[in-house]
Amino acid sequence: MNEPITNLWSVPLLVMIPILTAIVVNLLYNKARAIRVISIGAAIAVLAISVVSPYGFHWFAGHPAVNADGTYTFTASVFSWKLSLEYYYGPLQQILIAVTSLLLLFVVVIATKSLSKNYGPYVAIVFLTYVSAAAVIMTNDFYNLWIAVELGSLLVAGLVASSGTGYAQKAALKYTFFSALAGSGLAISLGLILGITGYANITDAIHFLMTNDLGGMHAVLYVAFAFLALAWVYAGGLIPVHPLKSDVYRSAFPHATVLLQAQSKLMLVAIGIVLLRMFGALPFAREVMLSISVLTMIIGIVMALIQTDFRWTLAYIIVSHSGLVTVGLSLGTYKGIVGGLFQAVNDIIYMSILLLCCEMLLYFGKGTSIKFNGGIAKKSPWLAAFVILGTFAASGIPPFNGFQSELIIIQAALEQSLPEVAAVVLMVSISTFIALFRAVYSIFLKPGEDHPVRQSEAKRFEIPTTVFVFLSVLLAISFVLGVYPQLALGFLTESALKVVFVPWVP
């Protein structure tokens, strides 16, 4: 499917359609019907483009494309005027953008149904958040990486603040404060790399580092790594920024958190891969990444265990499982990277199931507190079934997708002679089940406070048809990937091979 395309038609469309949609729906402001039609149409369009698009490069201002063997499609004379701004659309980008596009469609449908005012700006922010996620995973240069991360962090704040509560606005403000720190960090990293190598393009910079001796300037590379790692930690919500990120996850509407957590995973994967490609050979670089990941996993899950609200529990589990994604990447081996990438795909899917169930609890007007709920299973057995199966998927119980990716990560850790990391992954998996099932039992399975007779007579909570369909689709994907993981692995292996063996190829 690799076409000798130098300017792939689909790349600008994946970026420009959501941007144009954001502008239009913002102008339409409160015209609900028009906004709904346009936004759903745009979401379907980007989903279709991401699925049917061939693989290839898109250059801004004529950057030469890179072949699989690391050579360029253009002649050497072109090198003199290339501007280094480049997007790449490959199998990894395809699966991640397609899954995010599917979630965008679900989020847009729910948002345009559930909101009562300010449709336009809210839907515009939703689309722009999608753009930041799509751009970050496609880019092969530090300029676009920086822009996508900066844009992404501001939009996260916007999406959270839009939920309207004082708590959410506070969380958004705190997150924005740190965006200045992480954004500047990435900019400094970009500046240092540009200063040492002369290239902002990642492929070119790696080529330069491999073919030139930096001599005394080597230390600058370590500083660049540290700043880029800081941006990675911030964008993905890894420790020690996780309290701010979990605040963000739990303060936004759950349907918005579906998109936020997908965006975070794409940021983690994109920047994580850049860190591996660019700095993977530095001593201790992978160890630093692994330490951050393991700590995030543990602190995230421990904090999830002690929460008394389902939204908060989910927020910390998202943080913890972000660590699971980055553990795989940080191992740096072919199997580890495949496991990390697969975990990112799976995590986006099963957390979306749980978040949509959470959205339904709010829709029923019951709240998400563990303390003051109970008996929802009797009133909405389908929702109980979805949340229990979602819990199984998140806890790595077969036959769901979480099992497959966690198994690959555990195998990769064992192959690296790191049984301790494998043990921590297992601990997280088991604790995820405890944390989630604690909440599921209290909210869904524990008898409610109503009198038993009155409870059975009480009106049932009906899940809206659209949400029922979305939950069924996500659960079906989770099940299919659990039974037949090759469906997703086929998209991920090429990227993992490139990172390990030909890191200069995007």
Is residue 302 part of the contact set for another protein (CB under 8 A)? yes
Among 87, 225, 253, 350, binds another protein (CB under 8 A): 225
Using the minimum distance from each CB to another protein, give the nearer residue, 121 or 243. 243
Is residue 420 part of the contact set for another protein (CB under 8 A)? yes
Is residue 309 part of the contact set for another protein (CB under 8 A)? no
Cα separations in angstroms, 249 against 60, 68, 124, 478: 34, 39, 19, 22
- Tallying the residues shown for the chain, one arrives at 506
In 198-280, which residue ranges form alpha helices assigned H by DSSP?
202-211, 218-236, 242-251, 254-279
Is residue 174 part of the contact set for another protein (CB under 8 A)? yes
Is residue 189 part of the contact set for another protein (CB under 8 A)? no
CA 297, CA 302: separation in Å to the nearest integer?
Answer: 9
Is residue 434 part of the contact set for another protein (CB under 8 A)? yes
Tokens of 432: 């995820």
Using the minimum distance from each CB to another protein, give the nearer residue, 36 or 286. 286
The 438-477 site mask, x for binding another protein (CB under 8 A), equals x---x-----------------------------------
Give min distance, CB of 121 to another protein, in A.
26
Of 247, 197, 257, 262, nearest to 224 by C-alpha is 197
Is residue 308 part of the contact set for another protein (CB under 8 A)? yes
Tell me the torsion sign for CA atoms 176, 178, 184, 185.
negative
Helix, strand, coil percentages in the chain from 3-state DSSP, rounded to 5: 75, 5, 20
Among 92, 103, 133, 303, binds another protein (CB under 8 A): 303
Is residue 424 part of the contact set for another protein (CB under 8 A)? yes
Among 52, 76, 219, 453, binds another protein (CB under 8 A): 219
387 within 8 A of 410, measured Cβ to Cβ: no
Give kind and range of the element (H or E) at residue 73. none
Among 45, 188, 226, 414, binds another protein (CB under 8 A): 226
Q: Which of residues 349-408 bind another protein (CB under 8 A)?
A: 370-371
Is residue 306 part of the contact set for another protein (CB under 8 A)? yes
In 29-139, which residue ranges form alpha helices assigned H by DSSP?
32-52, 91-114, 119-138
Stretch that binds another protein, among 170-178, 343-351, 397-405, 495-503 (CB under 8 A): 170-178
CA 506, CA 139: separation in Å to the nearest integer?
Answer: 9
CA 245, CA 315: separation in Å to the nearest integer?
Answer: 8
* Interface with another protein: number of residues (CB under 8 A): 51
Q: Which of residues 240-279 bind another protein (CB under 8 A)?
A: 240-244, 246-247
Give min distance, CB of 41 to another protein, in A.
38
Is residue 176 part of the contact set for another protein (CB under 8 A)? no
Among 9, 79, 177, 484, binds another protein (CB under 8 A): 177
Among 61, 78, 181, 214, binds another protein (CB under 8 A): 181
Is residue 327 part of the contact set for another protein (CB under 8 A)? no
- Exposure string of 38-56, with b = 16+ CB inside 10 Å and e = fewer, is bbeebbebbbebbeebebb
Tokens of 113: 């149904």
Give min distance, CB of 178 to another protein, in A.
7
CA 69, CA 48: separation in Å to the nearest integer?
Answer: 30
The 3-state DSSP class for residue 165 equals: coil
Tokens of 184: 């500047």
Using the minimum distance from each CB to another protein, give the nearer residue, 113 or 446. 446
Is residue 180 part of the contact set for another protein (CB under 8 A)? no
CA 382, CA 391: separation in Å to the nearest integer?
Answer: 14
Prior bond to 399 cis, omega within 30?
yes
Is residue 479 part of the contact set for another protein (CB under 8 A)? no
Is residue 178 part of the contact set for another protein (CB under 8 A)? yes
Among 3, 287, 449, 462, binds another protein (CB under 8 A): 287
Residue recorded with tokens 């957390």: 351
Site of interaction with another protein (CB under 8 A)? 171, 174, 177-178, 181, 218-219, 222-223, 225-226, 229-230, 233, 239-244, 246-247, 282-285, 287-288, 292, 294, 298-299, 301-303, 305-308, 370-371, 418, 420, 423-424, 427, 431, 434-435, 438, 442
